[in-house]
Structure 1
Amino acid sequence: MQIIKYMIPQDFNEWYRCITVACGIKPDRNFIEGRIQALENKTDSYTESFIQLYGKQHYENVLSWFYMAKGKVKA
């Protein structure tokens, strides 16, 4: 069993494990595309809050991880 060292994921694998195992989400294409669309809207209140809480670097990481995940799911 892999132990996550940080509360905030530091790379794609940790993030994906958090989404799929800890949160129990099966990230299908619709889920991923919806999250990408929401995160790309920097005027969205959720996105603004996310950036304020976690910082711009983590926001950019998460957005890139969603794009990576999108490339891994079947159409």
Structure 2
Amino acid sequence: MVLPVPHLPTNYAEWRHCITVECGIALTQAYIAQRLRALDDASDYSTQRLIAIYGRRHHQAAIAWFQQAAAELFRQEAR
């Protein structure tokens, strides 16, 4: 049985929609920090799987998108 390949986000807007709408995950400060720690840890199983399946380019993009989400959250909280 062959599973369909999901559409991978190619930019921040697509990634944010995927996380918050399709997956229903709130981009909270705690969640963003946890994911950034995991993505920065080469021994983390989920990070290893992400790189194995989607490649290093997508891994680096995911880090950048989480960092952008953190910056947006910081700006919102500073208001």
- TM-score range normalised by the length of the shorter chain: 0.7 to 0.9
Of structures 1 and 2, the one scoring higher in RCO (CA 8 A, sep 6+) is 1
- Aligned residue-pair number: 70
Distance in 1 separating the partners of 2:51 and 2:22: 22
Please list every run of 5 or more consecutive structure 2 residues that lacks an aligned counterpart in the other structure: 1-5
**Identity in percent:** 34
Structure 1, unpaired ranges of 5+: 1-5
What is the TM-score when the length of structure 1 is the normalising length?
A: 0.87
Following TM superposition, where does structure 1 have runs of at least 4 consecutive aligned residues deviating by more than 6 angstroms? none
- TM-score normalised by structure 2 residue count: 0.83
Give RMSD over aligned pairs.
Answer: 1.4
Aligned residue in 1 for 2:31: 31
Larger Rg: 2
